[in-house]
Chains A and B, each alone.
Chain A
Amino acid sequence: MADAPRWRRYLRFWGSYPAADLDDELTFHIEMLVQELVDAGMSTSAARAEAERRFGAVRPVREACLTIDQRRARRDARTDSMHALAQDVRYALRSIRMTPGFSGVVVLTLALGIGAATAMFSVVDRVLLRSLPYPASEQLVALSQSGSDFYHSYSNYLDWKERSQGLFSNIVAWQSTNYGISGDGQPEVLWGDRVSASAAKMLGVTPLLGRTFHPEEELVSSERVVMISERLWKRRFGGDPHVIGRALTMSGFPFTIVGVLPSSARVRLPTDLAYDRQPDFWMPLRLTEESAPRSLHFLGIMARVAPGLTPAQMRSGLQAMSAALARDGVDTVTIDAAPLSTRVAGNTGRPLGILLGAVGMLLLIACANVANLLLARAAVRERELGIRVALGAGRTRIFGQLLAESVVRALFGGAAGVALAYASIWAAHRWLDVTLPRFHEVQVDARVLGFAVALSVAAGILFGIAPALRAMRARPGDVLREGGRGLHGSVHKDRVRRALIVAEVSFSFVLLVGAGLLLRTLDRLLAVDRGFDPTHVLTAQIALSGRRYPDSTAIRGFYQRFLTEVRSIPGVASAGFTSELPGPGTSGGIEIDGESFPPNQRPNVEKRIVSEGYFETLEARLVAGRFFTASDAPGMTPVVIVNRTFVERWLKDRNPIGQRVDFLWDTQGLQTIAGVVDDIHETTSDGPPRPAMYIVAEQHPVPWMTLVVRSDADESSLVTAIRARLKAIDPELPLADVRTLSDIVGASVASQRLSASILTTFAMLALALAAVGLYGVISYSVAQRAQELGIRAALGAGRGRLLRLVLRQGAGLLISGLVVGIVGALAAGRLLASQLFGVGASDPATFVTVALVLSGVALLATAIPAMRATHVDPAVTLRTD
């Protein structure tokens, strides 16, 4: 075995080097053997040969030893690093304890950033990422059809149920509905769902008491049964354990209670409302094709995909089903399906993504601020670190220690942030009407906590890395030579701090522009011409019990009498009824006399049933013809009113008045168009107007209507008066969902309002953090330049000159930040564009306003330390050296 090369021992310079040690050890052994043999009289070469023979094969020995040594080295390294980490953490805790004020600012800054990010993540996670709280929820799909999206008729349900064998293992329909109950106490309106019998099985609902529905209970001929919610059970029945089998009168009909629904999230159906209401009851569908004609689209339909079927197979199966329905002359629509989770999340992905991005920027600003604070403090600590380096502390060790210190600080910040997130989610649940799907499920749980911890560690490393790198470069000689004073900031350090400020200013700019654009959007949405005046209009729902108002005559009689009574209330200008308030609602197919349309292009319109006086109360604008009057009574010519979009789409080249159409909703024969009303927004505020048709309630009475009343009178006294008149006519009828039309219009932009207010909050926090950061950097620089400024003052520079000198420094940072910010905001605007309405993503007015606000705040943050600079006393500053 040859001698190991000498240079190899230098490998040990960086720590133990097991292989080199081992080779040296074995070589020594062989050398000793050779020496012994030579001493006994052998020649050197013979001795070497003999020694190597005696030793035997070196390689297996070497490998056996090396395996053991390497195992030990690894274990030692692990123990060492654990010790070092524990020491670093102890050191960090001591350092934090010793600087409570500084640490407090750091923790608070980080708590804002991490807290906001954690709260936002908990929402995004629930709404977009988590699977729905149903068993095997990935198999659930929502069905849609061309023309009316997610609303289907009862006939659709029957067709699809019959023909989807092999595609779906279960298919259910549901409809949210309300029923009035009376009896003991105040009449009240209950909200619930009519569902297919197998819905409970599909959603994994196990009744708390009793049973779910039998399939035959879906039939109109069977007894009326209902499952009540746990809440209703406790409220109305005092939690009676023998409630099963008891009768409950709902809207005049006797129902038998067969089960109690658990109040777990699982019984919630993914309704088309953005927020889901906990249902008071479930009842079987009990529909017939006569009571729910094919043209009436009001049901949601969902299905569980048959096991083993891929999404592509399922969708092509649906296409085949659509084709078969068309071939058999049953229907002409194209049927499709999307994962239920996608349907529930709706179009919240983009706004939530934007908010998540915004909160990320806020967190980065917070990190930049903390990094700046640490850099400023590094100057103070340079002496301490320099001495430690001089005493032999390794540079990597110091780097690791400072980084550990940052991570520990970040974890404190993260803990405070989690508390903040918890508090804000709690507050949002309690006080805010958040219109996000599944928001009620949002909470701080293990997964969110894990996210917060990971985020804290990442943030700690992010803001700790620059100060730690700097400290690692500390030269003990310099520090000690300076006679113990802190080092003056090097050019390098200033450059990092300036870059951080520029980044903060630019991120703030982007966030402020985003917030500004969303606020303007909200403004434009509220200012949209909806075709009616929502102010001073009160609305309330009334549902008549089918038992006591069994036919059209009874229903018509009630509404006419009630309308007369309401109109006689002092201060009431006008009043009317509608089947649905302006906004998204029932739609369906119609026919136009003398026209025929190819399949898939058949007219589909918004359908509303309204009384005479409705349009006048809304102050809708008449385009042609007339509104409904009291003389549009049964027995007279059946009439409808259409909107402007209807005329533009189908009756463009004709006089619409007098044209005949069919509303296709329990109608006998055609109706005549009596008037054209200017578009009332029957869709979302930012959507294009849809064609709409209004049929007169007097000729087509339905038992559930919404009252609209225009009055300047005080809202609460008006409601009291209306309730009194209602009680005089029918003491058992509840007045439900009393709201003003302005509130309803406001609620229609609730999601935009939510995004705008969250983003505005983030932007304001960002602005504050950036201002604090700028203030810190300028103050620090003024303190550092005190001597220079003193000399300038001594040489005759006036206060104005010194002020300008410092302000110029702040202005430079501001302008760089604005330039980067404008570029960033233009880029971010492209992501935001789909969320805007009535304002461009690069709206100059918003950009200019934001630039002015940011400049104003930055000027203030610079001016305070700048004023201090002008007060330097040359005599004092020059003496300090």
Chain B
Amino acid sequence: MPTMPLDLLQGTLDLLILKTLAWGPAHGYAIARWIQQLTGQVLTVGEGSLYPALHRLEERGAITAEWRLTEHNRRAKFYTLTSKGRQQLRAETATWTQFVDAMAKVLRATEQPA
């Protein structure tokens, strides 16, 4: 199964990042890894789009960053969801679910509408 680049859909990457960070603070590398694992390697995150997306989200105030030590005792930049980011996640999840449902209804339809 081929991997799909994630930046096909505008806003999809932002939503995935926010969702990932909902479990707790993480650095960029971990975020990329988690997304890849959770989607069963279907979606890969290119670094070329991940880091600009992180910085943009930080600029908008959806996430904040701070330098911390990892479990391997290395300095890394950890991103944390802000309350504003949490709100955004909720709103966008709802929109996304609606969209997916709608798509599914159309794609699973067996009869032509009257």
CA distance A664 to B58 in the complex (A): 94
CA distance A57 to B51 in the complex (A): 13
Does A688 have its Cβ within 8 Å of any Cβ on chain B? no
A57-73 vs B: 1/0 string, CB under 8 Å?
10011001100110110
Given that A28-B29, A56-B46, A71-B59 are known contacts, is A61 also in contact with B51, CB under 8 Å in the complex?
yes
Given that A21-B77, A68-B59 are known contacts, is A29 also in contact with B52, CB under 8 Å in the complex?
no
Does B24 have its Cβ within 8 Å of any Cβ on chain A? no
Does B86 have its Cβ within 8 Å of any Cβ on chain A? no
CA distance A61 to B7 in the complex (A): 14
Does A25 have its Cβ within 8 Å of any Cβ on chain B? yes
Is the beta-carbon distance between A60 and B29 smaller than 8 angstroms? no
Out of B29, B51, B54, which one reaches A32, CB within 8 Å? B29
Is the beta-carbon distance between B51 and A60 smaller than 8 angstroms? no
Out of A28, A60, A71, A72, which one reaches B74, CB within 8 Å? A28
Does B19 have its Cβ within 8 Å of any Cβ on chain A? no
* B39 CB, min distance to chain A CBs, angstroms: 18
Does B90 have its Cβ within 8 Å of any Cβ on chain A? no
CA distance A841 to B59 in the complex (A): 68
Find chain A residues with CB under 8 A from B84 CB: none
Out of B46, B51, B76, which one reaches A65, CB within 8 Å? B51
* B78 CB, min distance to chain A CBs, angstroms: 10
Is the beta-carbon distance between A28 and B75 smaller than 8 angstroms? yes
Find chain B residues with CB under 8 A from A68 CB: 52, 55-56, 58-59
CA distance A24 to B59 in the complex (A): 19
Is the beta-carbon distance between B48 and A25 smaller than 8 angstroms? no
Number of A-B contacts defined by CB within 8 Å: 54
* A75 CB, min distance to chain B CBs, angstroms: 8
Out of A24, A25, A33, A72, which one reaches B51, CB within 8 Å? A25
Does B25 have its Cβ within 8 Å of any Cβ on chain A? no
Find chain B residues with CB under 8 A from A31 CB: 74
Out of B32, B56, B77, which one reaches A25, CB within 8 Å? B77
* B37 CB, min distance to chain A CBs, angstroms: 13
Residue of chain B at shortest CB distance from A56: B48
Find chain A residues with CB under 8 A from B54 CB: 65
Does A647 have its Cβ within 8 Å of any Cβ on chain B? no
8 Å CB interface, A772-790 against B: none
Out of B27, B47, B74, B77, which one reaches A56, CB within 8 Å? B47
Find chain B residues with CB under 8 A from A28 CB: 27-29, 74-77
* B26 CB, min distance to chain A CBs, angstroms: 12
CA distance A852 to B78 in the complex (A): 77
Residue of chain A at shortest CB distance from B58: A72
8 Å CB interface, A6-43 against B: 21, 24-26, 28-29, 31-33
Is the beta-carbon distance between B55 and A65 smaller than 8 angstroms? yes
Out of B47, B59, B67, B76, which one reaches A72, CB within 8 Å? B59
Which of B51, B58, B74, B77 counts the most chain A CB atoms within 10 A?
B51
Is the beta-carbon distance between A26 and B74 smaller than 8 angstroms? no
Does A650 have its Cβ within 8 Å of any Cβ on chain B? no
Secondary structure dominating the interface of B: helix
CA distance A24 to B68 in the complex (A): 12
* B27 CB, min distance to chain A CBs, angstroms: 7
Is the beta-carbon distance between A64 and B52 smaller than 8 angstroms? yes
CA distance A485 to B55 in the complex (A): 52
* A69 CB, min distance to chain B CBs, angstroms: 6
Find chain A residues with CB under 8 A from B47 CB: 26, 29, 55-56, 61
8 Å CB interface, A52-104 against B: 55-57, 60-61, 64-65, 68-69, 71-72
Is the beta-carbon distance between B52 and A65 smaller than 8 angstroms? yes
* B84 CB, min distance to chain A CBs, angstroms: 15
Residue of chain B at shortest CB distance from A58: B47
Residue of chain B at shortest CB distance from A55: B47
Find chain B residues with CB under 8 A from A33 CB: 29
Residue of chain B at shortest CB distance from A21: B77
Q: Report, as a range, how many residues of chain A touch the other chain.
A: 20 to 34
Residue of chain B at shortest CB distance from A76: B59
CA distance A29 to B55 in the complex (A): 15
* A36 CB, min distance to chain B CBs, angstroms: 9
CA distance A29 to B47 in the complex (A): 9
8 Å CB interface, B3-54 against A: 27-29, 32, 46-48, 51-52, 54
Find chain B residues with CB under 8 A from A69 CB: 55, 59
Is the beta-carbon distance between B48 and A24 smaller than 8 angstroms? no
Residue of chain A at shortest CB distance from B28: A29
* A314 CB, min distance to chain B CBs, angstroms: 61
Is the beta-carbon distance between A24 and B77 smaller than 8 angstroms? yes
CA distance A541 to B98 in the complex (A): 99
* A51 CB, min distance to chain B CBs, angstroms: 10
Find chain A residues with CB under 8 A from B56 CB: 68
Find chain B residues with CB under 8 A from A60 CB: 48
CA distance A783 to B45 in the complex (A): 75
Which of A21, A68, A71 counts the most chain B CB atoms within 10 A?
A68
* B79 CB, min distance to chain A CBs, angstroms: 10
Which of A24, A25, A31, A56 counts the most chain B CB atoms within 10 A?
A25
Find chain A residues with CB under 8 A from B48 CB: 56-57, 60-61
Which of B28, B55, B76 counts the most chain A CB atoms within 10 A?
B55
Find chain A residues with CB under 8 A from B51 CB: 25-26, 29, 61, 64-65
Residue of chain A at shortest CB distance from B76: A28
CA distance A31 to B56 in the complex (A): 23
Residue of chain B at shortest CB distance from A28: B76
Given that A61-B52, A65-B52 are known contacts, is A29 also in contact with B29, CB under 8 Å in the complex?
yes
CA distance A26 to B75 in the complex (A): 12
Residue of chain A at shortest CB distance from B72: A35
B56-76 vs A: 1/0 string, CB under 8 Å?
101100000001000000111
Find chain A residues with CB under 8 A from B28 CB: 25, 28-29
Residue of chain B at shortest CB distance from A68: B55
Residue of chain A at shortest CB distance from B46: A56
CA distance A57 to B46 in the complex (A): 11
Find chain B residues with CB under 8 A from A65 CB: 51-52, 54-55
Residue of chain A at shortest CB distance from B59: A72
* A10 CB, min distance to chain B CBs, angstroms: 15
CA distance A29 to B75 in the complex (A): 11
* A852 CB, min distance to chain B CBs, angstroms: 71
Find chain A residues with CB under 8 A from B32 CB: 29
A144-155 vs B: 1/0 string, CB under 8 Å?
000000000000
Find chain A residues with CB under 8 A from B27 CB: 25, 28-29
A333-370 vs B: 1/0 string, CB under 8 Å?
00000000000000000000000000000000000000
Which of B29, B58, B75 counts the most chain A CB atoms within 10 A?
B29
CA distance A33 to B32 in the complex (A): 11
Find chain B residues with CB under 8 A from A57 CB: 48
CA distance A103 to B58 in the complex (A): 46
8 Å CB interface, B67-108 against A: 67, 74-77
* A572 CB, min distance to chain B CBs, angstroms: 95
CA distance A24 to B77 in the complex (A): 8
CA distance A626 to B7 in the complex (A): 114
CA distance A690 to B108 in the complex (A): 114
CA distance A555 to B27 in the complex (A): 111
Find chain B residues with CB under 8 A from A55 CB: 47
* B49 CB, min distance to chain A CBs, angstroms: 9
29 A-B pairs with C-beta separation under 8 A: A24-B75, A24-B77, A25-B28, A25-B51, A25-B76, A25-B77, A26-B47, A26-B51, A28-B29, A28-B76, A28-B77, A29-B28, A31-B74, A32-B29, A55-B47, A57-B48, A61-B47, A61-B48, A64-B51, A64-B52, A65-B52, A65-B54, A65-B55, A68-B52, A68-B56, A68-B58, A68-B59, A69-B55, A69-B59
Interface residues of A (CB under 8 A from B): 21, 24-26, 28-29, 31-33, 55-57, 60-61, 64-65, 68-69, 71-72
Q: Other than the known A28-B76, A65-B51, what 11 A-B pairs have Cβ atoms closer than 8 Å?
A: A21-B67, A26-B47, A28-B27, A28-B75, A28-B77, A57-B48, A64-B55, A65-B54, A68-B56, A69-B59, A71-B59
Closest 8 CB pairs of A and B: A64-B52, A32-B29, A68-B55, A72-B59, A25-B77, A65-B55, A29-B29, A28-B76
